[in-house]
Copies of this chain bind each other. A is one copy, B any other.
């Protein structure tokens, strides 16, 4: 895995059909190409079933979309951190607005993530929750007002104070925790503003997966991110 350094662009493939199976490979290869051309750190988050194929075929960091707060054993249908790691992932999203977790489970999942050598980007719905999470010292915290996710109205444009407050509050708790923002980011300008506001990474999904020309879109995003940083 390449070293991840800001600006970091995290691409969540969700359960979009365009990003399932062969689609996940295609979108990951484009991300690899753009990352290599622009020097920007890009992370892809395919579905569990695609982690192995993607991480075998591309040389950029692959994150799982979630891991369960469990140790190996009698768990049917669960997502074991060791399994995600064995499949080639180097990290995971956690507590995404589409998969919120109990606080005690976030804390235990983070301890498991550390134990098996993964890193975690934990999502928060607002600044208070982001600060509270920072206390658990994950690799990164992503603030994403859920009401903006998938709308195309970028948090960085519509609620810039959420982004800048998240940066200042999280850093107050711990300087080591990276701050991301997400929700609605869909243009190069949205990314530029986000990095201007102080984030170290952004998190997006449909804007990339559903882009007419994902390569062109991602390249413009990378350039804007570098400028905004």
What is A's interface to B at a CB cutoff of 8 Å?
12, 14-17, 20-22, 45, 47-53, 64-66, 70, 72-80, 82-84, 86-87, 93, 95-107, 124-126, 128-129, 131-133, 135-136, 149-150, 173, 205-206
In whole angstroms, how far apart are the Cα atoms of A133 and B173 in the complex? Answer: 13
Q: Which residues of the partner chain B approach A99 to less than 8 Å between Cβ atoms?
A: 76-78
Of the candidates B50, B107, B205, the one whose C-beta lies within 8 Å of that of A74 is B205
User: Would A102 and B104 count as touching, CB distance under 8 A?
Assistant: no
In whole angstroms, how far apart are the Cα atoms of A84 and B47 in the complex? Answer: 10
Q: Which residues of the partner chain B approach A150 to less than 8 Å between Cβ atoms?
A: 74
Closest B residue to A21 using CB positions: B86
Q: How far is the CB of A228 from chain B (nearest CB, A)?
A: 25
Of the candidates B17, B22, B53, B66, the one whose C-beta lies within 8 Å of that of A77 is B66
Closest B residue to A125 using CB positions: B104
Closest B residue to A51 using CB positions: B49
